[in-house]
Amino acid sequence: MTFLWPQFLWLLAALPLLVLLYLWLIRRKKKLAVRYASLSIVREAMGTGQSVRRHIPPLLFLLAMAAMLIAAARPMAVVVLPSNQQTIILAMDVSGSMRAADVLPNRLVAAQEAAKSFIKDLPRSVKVGIVAFAGSAQVAQLPTTNHDDLVTAIDSFQLQRATATGNAIVVSLATLFPDAGIDIEQFSAPSRQRGVAIDQTEKKLKEFTPVAPGSFTSAAIIMLTDGQRTTGVDPLDAAKAAADRGVRIYTVGVGTVDGETIGFEGWSMRVRLDEDTLKAIANKTSAEYFYAGTASDLKKVYNTLSSRLTVEKKETEISALFALGAAVLTLLSAGLSLLWFNRIL
């Protein structure tokens, strides 16, 4: 716990003085009681129970004073609060390698089911957009709160060749920032050119001031892929563009880490999960990387992401809590004193 105005904590040193004053008043009353035999008899009749009761209201009042002084120092603490995440972009790989059956029934179906379950568990206030990518990236569904439209978009995925993870990030950013001047068509058209520089796109963007990575809390990107990038812009360059805008990219790797040969319509290809790049993308944007080797693992990943994106740990001022505690203790102290002794303290 930290304090915005720690200098007020010095006032807590006055509390021991109040304790000493209270003890002095008690001793003074005892001396007066000795002078009057009748008062001494009454005190003995009250018993030890009444003697203990008389100290409870002052003790509660002392605790209330401590709480009020702490509240004055404006304490700050990390607490779990509902997230203000408003938009989530699901960037999902639909390359041919997603037909592999190492994740049952196959990678694509497992990803579709996990994504639909993820969307179902999100609050209705959160908008979700869908970006499908293979050799190019397209917006399958603009951000919406309509879950039926999102499910329809996910069910309509068609497998394609190649993998352009960098393009998926750029198109996701263009979806989140429609006024930034990003030409989506440039990254939606199929391209076999490997190593396209994102600088070509940055020149067309409206000027902006970079912010701290992960500081844009109104949106996030979740990218799921099972292979290496084979075309399009460098994903690390695209990740830097996202980091400069404060957008987190949570990456999910699904499938075989060591690689697998996939055959289809007379051609075959070796696909390998590029975990190093996916981890670098997540780290660059202050997010996390998750590996899902099975369908159940994939569902667990999405469940984890759902909880991460709907709540957040945030340093918040909690002066109101201490002020509320002080008020409750004060009322309790006064109430008990009236109930037991027909007076306030």
> Which band of pLDDT confidence, cut at 50, 70 and 90, is reported for residue 190?
low
Label the pairing between strands 248-254 and 289-292. parallel
What domains can you pick out in the chain, each with its CATH number? Answer: 2-78+316-341 (no CATH), 85-293 (3.40.50.410)
Helix (H, G, I), strand (E, B) or coil at 156: coil
The answer to whether 225 and 282 have CB atoms below 8 angstroms apart is no
Phi and psi at 268, nearest 5°, equal -135, 155
Percent of the chain with pLDDT over 90: 32
Alpha helices, H only, the chain: 14-35, 37-53, 56-72, 107-121, 147-155, 165-176, 184-188, 199-202, 235-244, 275-284, 295-310, 319-341
Could you read off the pLDDT of 5-40 as tens digits, one per residue? Answer: 888 888 888 888 888 888 888 777 776 665 555 555
Q: Using only the alpha carbons of the chain, give its radius of gyration.
A: 32
Q: Tell me: the pLDDT tens digits for 220-256?
A: 999 999 878 888 889 999 999 999 999 999 999 987 7
Half-sphere exposure of 181 (CA within 13 A, CB side): 9
The phi and psi torsions of 258 (rounded to 5 degrees) equal -75, -15
Q: Is the pLDDT of residue 192 over 50?
A: no
Distance of CA 28 to the CA centre of its chain: 58
Q: What is the mean pLDDT of residues 168-196?
A: 73
Residue 158, classed as helix, strand or coil, is coil
How far out from the chain centre does Cα 196 lie? 33
Max avg pLDDT among 41-50, 75-84, 86-95, 172-181: 86-95
Between 335 and 90, the more confident residue is 90
| Confidence bin at 203 (pLDDT 50/70/90) | very low
Q: What is the pLDDT of residues 95-139, one digit of tens each?
A: 888 888 878 888 899 999 999 999 988 888 889 999 999 989 999
Task: Report the Cα 244 to chain-centroid distance in Å.
Answer: 19
Residue of 122, 108, 119, 173 whose CA lies nearest to 150: 119
Place of tokens 């002078």: 35
- The Cα 279–Cα 271 span in angstroms is 18
**Taking a C-beta distance cutoff of 8 angstroms, is the pair 154, 129 a contact?**
no
pLDDT-derived band at 189 (thresholds 50, 70, 90) equals low
Tokens of 326: 């002080």
Candidate ranges 150-159, 172-181, 209-218; pick with highest mean pLDDT = 150-159
pLDDT category at 303 given cuts 50, 70, 90 is confident
